Structure 1
Amino acid sequence: MSVNTLPVTTGEALAVLWQGWQAQATGGLTASWMLHGRPGIGKTEIVQTLATRAGAMLFDLRLTTIEPQDLRGLPYYDHATQRTIWYRPEDLPDDPAQPAVLFLDELTAAPPSLQPTVYGLLQERRIGRHRLPDTCFVVAAGNGPEDGAIAYDMGTALSDRLIHLSLRATAQDWVENYALPHNLHPAIPAFLRSRPDLLETTAETLQRGQTIACTPRSWARVSAILHAVPDRRLRDVMIAGTVGEAPAAEFALVLADITASLRVEEMIAARPAEAWALYPTSLHGLTALTYALIGAAEEGTIARIIALMAGIGQLHRHRDDPALRALPLAELCTHGFELLLQKALARGWQAQFAASPDWAAYAKSRAEAGL
């Protein structure tokens, strides 16, 4: 069955859950949430980020690895009272003073025999006599049968206990809300800016009868490979085994261009007049440079990063290369500054921006152009 709700990006889903967390904390809404999405789209990362932002302890239950009694607990016969007492499992939150997120992962892959046990957690927020504290936020996640994953259709008794979020992957959202905050290799967002269709290819891969698909999770793994494996031939084999042969071959060409031209550390250390010669001159190289500069921005380097970012828009005036005039330098500069500003606002670097003559000159030129 399809999930008949509005599709949301992973960034939007995090914003919705954060609003739900705040609403529950004030007593305005107590609900359980369900994240639907293809494998590797980022469901687990959303919940982990939510718990970190809220300062909550994360209880991560993989429902495909447990039995009903693992949630219900074990019975113990009390001879004094002639009653059976249930010892609850330690995997459930019970401290009312400790904010918690209970994550029921792989809900749609859990065997049907387990689902009635989960009903109480999702609706009444209890199992047997054990009740979840009011400070516990409940989120479930799962794939659908159409995603090529092991999954059961969700019955109405289960679906009616949840607020459903249907996730979709977009390159822009993933780059801004995951790749940049996690300092992924700049070649990856640069590549996906030109090939956003290769961020997530599960449906197409299944139609072709192939095994390996591109997913946000697999691209994050490619970044780890790039940072950890220096041997290019072995690295290419690993990347092909992560995202598939055809995407890996296309990415390798972009990576070679970027690797040959990206010299961020040298640019930061160089004197302003010397930095012009260090800028890449290809579109992929300059795109990667914008992301690399954002990743390199720290409180001690932000002033220099602002100057180098502004330089992208002025590069054609300082390099005698006709090909540069055909590139969207102003667009790249603006895109880079938008993302750099987001990082600066999150880190409290507004004063550095206000004091930068390069930012002032860039802002003035934008205003004069009516932008």
Structure 2
Amino acid sequence: MKVTPAQLTELLSLYVPKRLPVLITGRPGIGKSDIVEQTARDTNHDLLISHPVVEDPTDSKGLPFPSADGATAKFLPFGDLERAMTARRPLIWFLDDLGQASPAVQAAKMQLLLARRVGEHVLPSHVTFLAATNRRTDNAGVTGILDPVISRFATVVELEPTIDDWSAWANRADVPPELIAFLRFRQDLLSVQKTSRDIENVPSPRSWGFVAKTMGVVPKHLEHISYAGSVGEGAATELVSFLQIYRELPNPDAILATPDSAPIPKKTSALYAISTALAARATEGNFDRVVTYTERMIEAGHREFAALLVRDSLQRSPAVANSYAFIRAQGGEIGKIIKGD
């Protein structure tokens, strides 16, 4: 079953408190690990991250240790197993890249996942298992997961990134508005399936995150080289072309200075760019000017972009909801946009 990041976040918030294990699948770099980390914070759990691909079966069983008389031996937990066994607070034990692990290591996890014990060692009741894996079609070294292991998870879901969820995260994370505008314009480039085994990156939420970190740092003559190394040459070429359009637009500060007369773009790419740029500058103090320009966009037939402008403004600066301009605007077309009408 495919789920969006928002749906997965909500699902985990329900399953984790009930101690129900969840297996998350999906292509590399789409945010599986990030969502698990956010879930740990949201549910007030500690987070233990294991990488079964580099483990031996003994990591999940413990090492045999003889008794004082040498007549018997017990398995003593160590490493991640010991930490989970002695956890005093609610803990999410996250098995990352489980599908890359050997069958022997996967088999060693089965008793832990279902019986919540290994031999005489019993997991505390406040430990919850989550796991993630790429798919066999992702060229990520995944050979599969044993059926008995899969059946020990309460649910198995496939994560699919969406531009709305990514944009909401990007606004909160102060990602450059020009990158948000570009990916809204070219939504198909948010996450691309890798089809070759060449040593190169492809577009994914993770790789676009690297682009975001280098924007404003890399000089213009190195932009294409830098971005191509992060997301591939094709996507980088389109991004650089979009940035040229973005940089030729009217200055957003100039639009806010004269919102009742500033030009409204007609091209789709320019509308994405100007809407995102204005939202990045929206504050409680200038939101009356944002409202003026937004209302003109609606009158010009660009309701979709007016909606993006208002929603992005709220995500980046929640304080605008306290402004008189926002409160007043809720009685008109902007209010309908906020409600989704």
TM range (shorter): 0.7 to 0.9
Q: 1:316-355 residue pairs with structure 2 within 5 A?
A: 325=300, 328-341=301-314, 349=319, 353-355=321-323
Specify which of 66, 86, 90 is matched with residue 79 of structure 2. Answer: 90
- Residue of structure 2 equivalent to 1:127: 118
1:252 alignment counterpart: 240
State the secondary structure of the residue aligned to 1:151.
coil
Q: Secondary structure at the match of 1:214?
A: coil
Query: Hey, what's the Cα distance between the residues in 1 that align with 2:222 and 2:262?
Result: 29
- Please tell me whether residue 118 in structure 1 is matched to residue 100 in structure 2: no
Task: Return the alpha-carbon distance in structure 2 between the equivalents of residues 262 and 74 of structure 1.
Answer: 67
Match of 2:177 in 1: 186
Structure 1 residues 233-244: aligned runs within 5 Å: 233-244=221-232
Is 2:52 the partner of 1:67? no
**Is the 1:279–1:286 Cα contact (8 Å) retained in structure 2?**
no
- Residue 195 of structure 2 aligns to a residue whose secondary structure is helix
Task: Decide whether aligned partners of structure 1 residues 289 and 59 sit closer, same or farther in structure 2, where only a CA change above 3 A counts.
Answer: farther
* Amino acid corresponding to residue 8 of structure 1 in structure 2: V
Asked if the contact 1:307/1:359 (under 8 Å) is kept, the reply is no
* Residue of structure 2 in register with 1:159 after alignment: 150
Q: Match of 2:103, SS? A: coil
Cα distance in 2 for partners of 1:199, 1:249 equals: 15
Q: 1:360 to 1:132 in 2, by over 3 A?
A: same
Post-superposition Cα deviations, 1:247-284, rounded to whole Å, max 9, x if no partner, equal 111111112222344756x46xx9x6456688884644
Output the aligned Cα RMSD: 3.2
Aligned length: 335
1:302 to 281, 284, 309: 284
Aligned: 1:226 with 2:215:
yes
Q: Which amino acid aligns with 2:5?
A: T
Q: Contact 1:186/1:289 (CA < 8 Å) preserved in 2?
A: no
Q: Tell me: CA distance 1:341–1:147, structure 2 relative to 1, closer, same or farther (3 Å).
A: same
For residues 68 and 85 of structure 1, the distance between their equivalents in structure 2, rounded to whole angstroms, comes to 16
**Measured at CA, do residues 220 and 303 of structure 1 come closer, stay the same or move farther in structure 2, by a change above 3 Å?**
same
Contact map agreement 1:313 1:329 (CA 8 A) in 2: no
Q: What TM-score do you get using the length of structure 2 for normalisation?
A: 0.85
Q: 2:204 aligns with which of 198, 208, 215?
A: 215
Q: Judge which range, 85-94 or 167-176, deviates more.
A: 85-94
2:197 equivalent to 1:198 = no
Whether the 8 Å CA contact 2:62–2:76 is kept in 1: the answer is yes
| Aligned pairs (5 A) from 1:255-270 | 255-261=243-249, 263=251, 266=253
Q: Which stretches in structure 2 are left out of the alignment for 5+ residues? A: none
Aligned-partner residue type, residue 194 of structure 1: F
Q: CA deviation at 1:233?
A: 2.1
Q: After superposition, what is the alpha-carbon deviation per residue over 1:298-320, rounded to whole angstroms, capped at 9, x for unaligned?
A: xxx3342x334323324569xxx
Q: Which amino acid aligns with 2:235?
A: P
Q: How far apart are 1:73 and its partner, in Å?
A: 2.5
Q: Percent identity?
A: 25
Change (3 A) 1:356 1:156: same
Residue in 1 that maps onto 2:294: 313
Deviation of the 1:217 alpha carbon: 1.0
Paired residue for 1:33, among 5, 18, 22? 22
Matches of 2:250 and 2:11 in 1, distance apart? 38
What's the counterpart of residue 8 of structure 1?
A: 3
Correspondence for 1:54: 43
Q: TM-score, normalising length from structure 1? A: 0.79
* Shift in CA distance, 100/208, structure 1 to aligned 2, threshold 3 Å: closer
Secondary structure class of the residue paired with 2:11: helix
- Which whole-Å CA distance do the structure 1 matches of 2:336 and 2:31 have between them? 41
Match of 2:161 in 1: 169
What is the CA–CA distance in structure 1 between the aligned matches of 2:280 and 2:85, rounded to whole Å? Answer: 40
1:263–1:278 contact (8 Å) kept in structure 2? no
